[in-house]
Amino acid sequence: MADIHSAAEAPRITRREDYREPDWRVPEIELDFQLDPAATRVVARLWVQRSSEHDRPLVLDGDGLTASRVRVDGVEVPVEMDGPNLVVRLSGSAHLVETEVEIAPERNTQLQGLYASNGMLCTQCEAEGFRRITFFPDRPDVLSRYKVRMTADKARFPVLLSNGDPVGSGALDDGRHWAEWHDPFPKPSYLFALVAGDLVANRSTFTTMNGREVQLGIWVRAGDLERTHHALNALETSMRWDEQVYGREYDLDVFNIVAVDDFNFGAMENKGLNVFNSRYILADPDIATDYDYDAIAAVVAHEYFHNWSGNRITCRDWFQLSLKEGFTVFRDQGFSADQGSAAVKRIEDVRGLRASQFPEDAGPLAHPVRPDSYIEISNFYTATIYNKGAEVIRMMATILGPEKFRAATDLYFERFDGTAATCEDFVRCMEDAGGTDLTQFRRWYSQAGTPRVTASLKQEGGRARLTLSQTVPPTPGQPDKQPMVLPLKLRLFGSVTGRPLCDEQLIQLRDPTAEIVFESIPEPPVLSINRGFSAPVVVDTNRSARDLAFLSAHDDDPFARYEAMQQLMLDTLVASVTSGRPDHDAVIDAVRNTLTDPALDPAFVAEAVLLPSDSFIGDQMALVDPDAIFAAREALRRDLGREHEALWRSAHEAVRNNRFEYSPAGKGARRIKNVSLGYIAASGARDAADLALAQFEASDNMTDRQGALGVLVSSTATEQRATAIDAFYRRYADNALVLDKWFQTQALSSRDDTAQAVEALAAHPAFTLANPNRARSLIGAFGVNQRAFHDVSGRGYRFLADQLLALDKLNPQTAAKLLPPLGRWKRFDAGRAAKMRAELERIVATPGLSKDMFEQASKSLD
């Protein structure tokens, strides 16, 4: 395999500062595919142009390719290779270069390039997969117009799709047929796609803001057609939303989405032909949870929005990845916020950021939003690039305000349409249209690490004095940090009257320390800070449990209210772990107030009363003791369960017989129902397992069924537990996406035998590493189950390393993404740390390791 590196061999590091313009441009390309799973012949015709005065040859990237023929202007030339790449010596400034290769999609287990998935053929080219299909300058700043012709067996592959618009098709004598597609928009090679398969489409038409008709199609296997309505609806809603909110109109006559079962990521924004992991398309109430429904809408929107933020304007190089990803996540978050409760959406997004990005930023793989170097770019599709990147855009939107932010995005789309741009280009548009200087703000792109803000508020006579300070922790390669610009929304409330003492203020903390004085403060004030999570930072305050409880009941910003409750819970749990003497009273009272406040949206209540996860509690502590954290959290859960048992039961009972409806109200009802069921079980109530099993059996939707399964899987009620696990398996044995939930739910169990159970599940006949969703459902879920993964025996570490080494041989990209839990050894006791390091060392020393894995594992050892 071409991209396999041994640890002994120094892997090549790509650096941002080494960027150079391409030597050759390729304004036009024609591709001719003779498709066959075992042997596909690819002929490529490249019209190349020398980009400046130089005498360098044309170097075409390749990965595992052998050219059977190379022609220049119609004349065959000798094949010259430089490692995996093809070198073509050219005398003039413009030539036609033709190459021919043969590839074997059915042997492509990496799922990059052209591969086979459940009988169909499809491509994945981002970031560097196109070079596995044909020789090409496979970099995002080489933009070409594509003409694609595909020929394939008509019976096996009746549908042939590619980017752009279809221009012709026909039958051939030998049972084969052909189709041709032209994409008029110049695009980089990573946006190329083709699909061949026996597929059916859910079709619709969309009329754009300027009256153009677009044919929409969502392509799936025949049996899945009825499960595409939600995705199609989400597509139409996103197309309208992008017109209304960003003024962006779709630009081709056709927009197709194809669902594939084997896919390394969530989905891919190929021009006019999005390819999706089927988990982000297929939904009906019986197989998809509310979480799935929301994720489908968000991913459909995300990929559609890339048509402008990613495709019309692409990235100059892969260091600029957040230019398209951070902005597009920000856009999809805005879309989702507009479809339901914006407050709940913000809470979910912040929870996700804290669960994945904050740990990344605090660990050995921390990197800036615009990285400086990489070994394997696939390893940089991270929460930092995506989610912190979105927070950086959000902060600029906050600083500019909505009108100027819209003017700035208009300017960006106009100024850079049709080009490959940089993060710097984007920030300059924000400055130009916003009339603001973002010089210091740019540090958000260059400095890694989550900033920490300390805030302390003191009342002095009729005034309040707020002292703020900031630090940015050292991260790999960045020992010393400069102060950031932190937009902080804040407000003061009177602790006696509960009244606001001032309007909400937006301050920009730029210095290491700052002081703000509030005049006319008649009563002791309580500080509400970082409202709406206006900056992605950690805030340490001197607020008492009383102040936090007060804010959790009275703050007018729903996010701040949630945050106060979370902080109160965290303070309580951390104190309980460190002192061993739990004091649960403040949390119990605050949860009661929230549960009984009739003005609150049930979806919000359900978020607010949930305890922080084991790992988030661990993230607050210098040394993580997984068992003590688990015990402290369980004790608080039990007390909350018992103290409020009547409230949980009535909340559960009130919506027990609701019929499924996918609406904000329906989702909110199911959320509080399942959170309540969890607390009833935590209380130790004797009928809890029966209640859960009854819900499991009676529910008409997957949210309630999986919610009940989750409760039972963690329970000690052997009989009910086994009944549910077994029934779920039998009911969904034929549905891969639902079986993933079966594996995942068991891997997330809080029982003390989970490590053994996961090892047994890895040997289950339905488990396979060949399908990325299945691999992630067990191994990925296990890696975030803090207690089980950190089983003191070290068996969890050994299991993960064994699985990753096996997976690396098949699919390095997916394997490498699952490694980070092993890299957190610095936060654990010496015994665990030594065992984790030993596994990392074993991985790094493995002969034939991929460079994906090598990068993640070797960096994790530092």
- Of residues 288 through 307, those in contact with ligand 0A1 by CB under 6 A are 302-303
Cβ 269 to Zn ion, closest distance in Å? 6
Q: Among 127, 307, 122, which residue's Cα sits nearest to residue 220?
A: 122
Query: What is the token pair recorded at 102?
Result: 């043969």
Residue 684 main-chain phi, psi, to 5 deg: 85, 10
DSSP for 607-632 reads HHTSPPPHHHHHHTSSSB-HHHHHHH
Query: What is the token pair recorded at 114?
Result: 């052209």
Pick between residue 265 and residue 335 the one whose CB is nearest to ligand 0A1.
265
Q: Does 115 bind ligand 0A1 (CB under 6 A)?
A: no
Pick between residue 705 and residue 774 the one whose CB is nearest to ligand 0A1.
774
Q: Does 262 bind ligand 0A1 (CB under 6 A)?
A: no
Q: Does 267 bind ligand 0A1 (CB under 6 A)?
A: yes
CA distances from 808 to 3, 62, 678 (A): 12, 21, 37
The interface partner of residue 265, options being ligand 0A1, Zn ion, none and the CB cut-off 5 to 8 Å by kind, is ligand 0A1
- Of residues 464 through 483, those in contact with ligand 0A1 by CB under 6 A are none
Q: Does 117 bind ligand 0A1 (CB under 6 A)?
A: no
Surface-to-core class of residue 2, CB atoms within 10 Å of its CB (0-12 exposed, 13-18 middle, 19+ buried): exposed
Which one of the spans 74-82, 259-267, 450-458, 669-677 is the region binding ligand 0A1 (CB under 6 A)? 259-267
Instruction: Tell me which of 136, 157, 178, 265 binds ligand 0A1, using CB under 6 A.
Output: 265
Cβ 382 to ligand 0A1, closest distance in Å? 11
CA contacts within 13 A on the Cβ side of 221: 10
Which one of the spans 21-29, 248-256, 260-268, 804-812 is the region binding ligand 0A1 (CB under 6 A)? 260-268
Cβ 371 to Zn ion, closest distance in Å? 16
The interface partner of residue 383, options being ligand 0A1, Zn ion, none and the CB cut-off 5 to 8 Å by kind, is none
Is residue 303 among the annotated active site residues? yes
Q: Does 332 bind ligand 0A1 (CB under 6 A)?
A: no
- Of residues 64 through 93, those in contact with ligand 0A1 by CB under 6 A are none
Pick between residue 190 and residue 828 the one whose CB is nearest to ligand 0A1.
190
Query: What is the token pair recorded at 219?
Result: 């392509």
Residues 615-654 as x/- pattern, contact with ligand 0A1 by CB under 6 A: ----------------------------------------
3-class state of residue 699 by DSSP: coil
Cβ 191 to Zn ion, closest distance in Å? 12
Q: Does 124 bind ligand 0A1 (CB under 6 A)?
A: yes
Which one of the spans 266-274, 460-468, 567-575, 578-586 is the region binding ligand 0A1 (CB under 6 A)? 266-274
Cβ 248 to ligand 0A1, closest distance in Å? 17
How far, in Å, CA of 827 to CA of 621, rounded?
A: 8
The interface partner of residue 238, options being Zn ion, ligand 0A1, none and the CB cut-off 5 to 8 Å by kind, is none
Cβ 303 to ligand 0A1, closest distance in Å? 6
3-class state of residue 328 by DSSP: helix
Which one of the spans 265-273, 360-368, 522-530, 567-575 is the region binding ligand 0A1 (CB under 6 A)? 265-273
Q: Does 347 bind ligand 0A1 (CB under 6 A)?
A: no
Pick between residue 280 and residue 562 the one whose CB is nearest to Zn ion.
280
How far, in Å, CA of 558 to CA of 531, rounded?
A: 9
Eight-class DSSP state of 61: B
The interface partner of residue 126, options being Zn ion, ligand 0A1, none and the CB cut-off 5 to 8 Å by kind, is ligand 0A1
Residue 177: enclosing H or E segment and its boundaries?
strand 176-187
Query: What is the token pair recorded at 138?
Result: 């496979």
Instruction: Tell me which of 158, 266, 664, 666 binds ligand 0A1, using CB under 6 A.
Output: 266
Cβ 791 to ligand 0A1, closest distance in Å? 32
Q: Does 264 bind ligand 0A1 (CB under 6 A)?
A: yes
- Name 145's Cβ contacts closer than 8 Å, sequence gap at least 6: 27, 28, 29, 182, 183, 184, 185, 186
Q: Does 261 bind ligand 0A1 (CB under 6 A)?
A: no
Pick between residue 267 and residue 408 the one whose CB is nearest to ligand 0A1.
267
What are the CB-based long-range contacts (under 8 Å, 24+) for 693-701? 693/720, 693/723, 693/724, 695/656, 696/724, 696/727, 696/728, 697/727, 700/285, 700/286, 700/659, 700/660, 701/285, 701/286, 701/289, 701/660, 701/670
The interface partner of residue 268, options being Zn ion, ligand 0A1, none and the CB cut-off 5 to 8 Å by kind, is ligand 0A1
Cβ 4 to ligand 0A1, closest distance in Å? 18
Task: Sort strands 24-34 and 144-153 into parallel, antiparallel or unpaired.
Answer: parallel
- Name 556's Cβ contacts closer than 8 Å, sequence gap at least 6: 491, 500
Cβ 385 to Zn ion, closest distance in Å? 9
Residues 312-351 as x/- pattern, contact with Zn ion by CB under 5 A: -------------x--x-----------------------
Q: Which of 98, 180, 269, 303 is catalytic?
A: 303
Q: Does 325 bind ligand 0A1 (CB under 6 A)?
A: yes
How far, in Å, CA of 563 to CA of 711, rounded?
A: 26
Q: Does 269 bind ligand 0A1 (CB under 6 A)?
A: yes
Count of positions (residues) in the chain: 862
Residues near ligand 0A1 (CB under 6 A), total: 13
Surface-to-core class of residue 139, CB atoms within 10 Å of its CB (0-12 exposed, 13-18 middle, 19+ buried): buried
How far, in Å, CA of 667 to CA of 658, rounded?
A: 11
Pick between residue 389 and residue 678 the one whose CB is nearest to Zn ion.
389
Cβ 362 to ligand 0A1, closest distance in Å? 24
Q: Does 126 bind ligand 0A1 (CB under 6 A)?
A: yes
First to last CA, the chain: 28
Cβ 801 to ligand 0A1, closest distance in Å? 23
3-class state of residue 202 by DSSP: strand
Residue 25 main-chain phi, psi, to 5 deg: -100, 160
Secondary structure of 205-224 in the HEC alphabet? Answer: EEECCCCCEEEEEEEECHHH
Instruction: Tell me which of 318, 381, 445, 616 binds ligand 0A1, using CB under 6 A.
Output: 381
Query: What is the token pair recorded at 825?
Result: 């050894």
Surface-to-core class of residue 54, CB atoms within 10 Å of its CB (0-12 exposed, 13-18 middle, 19+ buried): exposed
The interface partner of residue 267, options being ligand 0A1, Zn ion, none and the CB cut-off 5 to 8 Å by kind, is ligand 0A1
Residues annotated as catalytic are 303
The site for ligand 0A1 (CB under 6 A) is made up of 112, 124, 126, 264-269, 302-303, 325, 381
Binding site for Zn ion (CB under 5 A): 325, 328
